[in-house]
Amino acid sequence: MEFILTYQWELFITAEVLSMAALLLFGIVRYFMNKKKVSLLFIMAFLVLLALEALLGILIYRETGKISTFQIVIAIFVIYACTFGIFDFKKLDRWMRKKIGGWRGEELLSEKDYQIMERSKDPKYIARKYRWTSMAHLVVFVIVQSVFWMYGTASLEELLGYIRDLSWIGAGTYQESPYPNETTYSIGMIWGLIFIVDFIWSWSYTVFPSKAKA
């Protein structure tokens, strides 16, 4: 366990590099070598590495009993991979099959793929998708921020006091905030700004819908 605590960042970075290598090999084997079954082994390797990253964060938390930047970084990577990363991967998969199919003169996309690609040009679908992602972001944001605040406050009454009076935001120090330390304070404040911008941007597709793409 001492080895893991000492080299936690090195282990995480190694796992991330191996994960990216697994995805790269998946693309090479699937799209260029046209071996779909073999390519699934690299996806399995990616999932195993993702699970090991999550396990690493849990082990370190159990050993130290504290939430650090390390656990937060791992949580962000794991949550992204299990949510938005899936949709991004599917989108990339369709794009690769379209490009390589064009190079080879083969049809690698199914009718369903074309339906999904056509649907992605529909302003109503785009607006609905961004509404869903913004609400999912809201749920994750509230849950994680609640955990931070519970660690930084002694009681529910104190926590609610920070919600009622937001003047601590302008103080600029974690000592006057509901966050337990400088790390969570910095992450919480930066994430809060990103969340506001992302939420406004996502709902702009509903308030100001674009025209359908040709």
In angstroms, the Cα distances linking 40 to 14, 31, 45, 93 are 21, 12, 9, 13
Q: Residue 130: inside a domain, yes or no? A: yes
Angle at 131 between CA 129 and CA 132, to 5 degrees: 65
Q: Which amino acid is at 73?
A: V
Q: Residue 91: inside a domain, yes or no? A: no
Same structural domain, 72 and 135? no
Q: Residue 97: inside a domain, yes or no? A: no
Report the pLDDT value the prediction gives residue 33, as an integer from 0 to 100. 82
Same structural domain, 4 and 52? yes
Report the pLDDT value the prediction gives residue 103, as an integer from 0 to 100. 82
Same structural domain, 199 and 127? yes
- Given 25, 50, 82, which residue is the final one in a domain? 82
Q: Residue 110: inside a domain, yes or no? A: no
Same structural domain, 130 and 192? yes
- Given 82, 97, 131, which residue is the final one in a domain? 82
Q: Which amino acid is at 181?
A: N
Same structural domain, 138 and 61? no
C-alpha neighbours within 13 Å on the C-beta side of residue 6:
3
Q: Is the pLDDT confidence value at 214 over 70?
A: no
Q: Residue 214: inside a domain, yes or no? A: no
CA pair distance 183, 20, nearest whole angstrom:
27
CA pair distance 69, 65, nearest whole angstrom:
13
Nearest to 8 by CA among 74, 90, 65: 74
Same structural domain, 62 and 128? no
Extract the runs of DSSP E, i.e. beta strands, from 7-160.
Answer: none
Same structural domain, 68 and 139? no
Contacts of 120 (CB under 8 A, 6+ apart): 126
Q: Print burial letters for 129-145: b (CB count within 10 Å at least 16), e (below 16).
A: bbeebbeebeebbeebb
Cα 114 to its chain centre, rounded Å, is 26
Domain count for the chain: 2
pTM of the model: 0.66
Which residue range(s) make up the domain with 182? Answer: 122-209
Same structural domain, 74 and 23? yes
- Given 33, 60, 82, which residue is the final one in a domain? 82
CA pair distance 88, 49, nearest whole angstrom:
19
Q: Residue 109: inside a domain, yes or no? A: no
| pLDDT confidence tier of residue 199, bands split at 50, 70 and 90 | very high
On whether the CB atoms of residues 205 and 128 are closer than 8 A, the answer is: no
Same structural domain, 19 and 76? yes
Q: Residue 99: inside a domain, yes or no? A: no
For 136-161, write each residue's pLDDT tens digit: 889 989 998 998 999 889 999 999 99
Q: Residue 50: inside a domain, yes or no? A: yes
Please give the DSSP secondary-structure letter assigned to residue 167. Answer: G
Average pLDDT over residues 98-115: 83
Q: Is the pLDDT confidence value at 170 over 60?
A: yes
- 3-state SS class at 136: helix
C-alpha neighbours within 13 Å on the C-beta side of residue 82:
14
